Amino acid sequence: MGPAPALPPEGSVISTQKANGWPTLLFLGSVAWLLIDGLMAVPVKTFPPSKVIEWEERSFSGSTRYQLTEVDGREAIHAVCEDGAASALYHRGEIDLESTPVLEWSWRVDETFSGVDERVRTGDDFPARIYLVDERSVLRWRTRALNYVWSSKELEGADWPNPYTSRVHMISVRSGSSEEPGRWFTDRRNVQADFRRFHERELKTLSGLAIMTDCDDVGERAEAWYGTLRFVAEK
């Protein structure tokens, strides 16, 4: 926006009319810039822990305990899995991957499982995972999913088909017990690009997502904390 034009000399009708109209011009200019700024704003879809705790629980075996808490000065979902439980907090609802293809989330895991092979059914447990679904309600066999997991054994960046079904693909985002217990990590993945790479699908929308801490296959106790999940535009 260029410099404001000078006001005319005081004492004339013209100068009075322009002077009285000047605040109006400034106001209208401000509104115009706000509208432009709003149109240019980067879209974001946010799920804070206070909303995640309200998601539907889906049980595979018993119930993982999910509680809304405050830890390290931040709001979080505290997940504790015991006695061979496996359940998730699931959100069903379309998420626009055209404008917000990137998922950004924070999580914390202090200890992982010991001596597990996560590529076989007896080791298919994770202290923390983010579950993303392209659901087909009619042709269910065409449903596909991605799991971003905090792995106990697999290296960061590793990927493999889920041992129970090839319709789910696993991606190790974090690995191993934390060298700094209590430390939070923030990670980002391009969900649209990952579905293209691992399922050969060009998704415009995502059907749903979940958080999940499970221990039904391994049988050990698992604990994790989940912070805010956000879908944002690619930088």
* pLDDT average per 10 residues of sequence, the chain (235 residues): 38 37 45 43 86 97 97 95 96 96 98 96 97 80 93 97 96 94 96 97 96 96 98 91
Alpha helices by DSSP H, 76-187: none
202-205 long-range Cβ contacts below 8 angstroms, 24+ apart: 203/97, 203/134, 204/96, 204/97, 204/98, 205/94, 205/95, 205/96, 205/97, 205/98
Do residues 126 and 149 touch, judged by C-beta distance below 8 A? yes
For residue 150, the tally of other CB atoms under 10 A from its CB is 26
- Domain boundaries along the sequence of the chain: 1-41, 44-232
Which residue type occupies 18? K
Give the per-residue pLDDT at 45: 94
Q: Which residues pair with 103 in a beta bridge?
A: 189, 231
Judge whether 223 and 100 are in contact, CB under 8 Å: no
Q: Compute φ and ψ for 53, nearest 5 degrees.
A: -65, -20
**DSSP-assigned states of every residue in 181-221:** TT--EEEEEEHHHHHHHHH----SEEEEEEEEEE-TTT-S-
- Among 172, 136, 137, smallest CA distance to 152 is for 172
What pLDDT is recorded for position 180? 87
Cα–Cα distance, 170 to 149 (Å, whole number): 7
pTM for this predicted structure: 0.81
* Topology of domain 44-232, CATH: Jelly Rolls (2.60.120)
What are the beta bridge partners of residue 131?
A: 147, 210
pLDDT at residue 225 in the model = 98
Q: Which two tokens stand for residue 30?
A: 């401000």
